[in-house]
Amino acid sequence: MRATVLVRPKAGILDPQGAAVETSLRHLGFEVAEARVGRVIDLEVAETDAVRARERVDAMCRQLLTNPLIESYEIELQGHA
């Protein structure tokens, strides 16, 4: 099953990349109140059951894919949004 993990800097945490992107967008004339830069991780997991797949991906997020001190995450399973 295909899973996508969206990793974001937690709200309130300084995001230097987002701040740089925001400034650049303003320089280009776009009206942007805020930009935050995160990360997308696409996974193909060896699970057909959606509940089990989500559990496995959640464990991956907690162990390796994210640092809970500064990042939050969302898991999207293909066809099970």
Q: Which residues of the chain form contacts with other proteins (CB under 8 A)?
A: 13-14, 16-17, 20, 64-65, 67, 69-70
Between residues 39 and 80, which has the closer beta carbon with respect to other proteins?
39
Give the C-alpha distances (Å, rounded to integers) separating 65 from 7, 48, 50, 54, 58.
8, 21, 19, 14, 9
Q: How far apart are CA 7 and CA 12, in angstroms?
A: 15
Min CB(27)–other proteins separation in Å: 16
The residue assigned the tokens 């300084």 is: 14
Between residues 65 and 77, which has the closer beta carbon with respect to other proteins?
65
Between residues 37 and 45, which has the closer beta carbon with respect to other proteins?
37
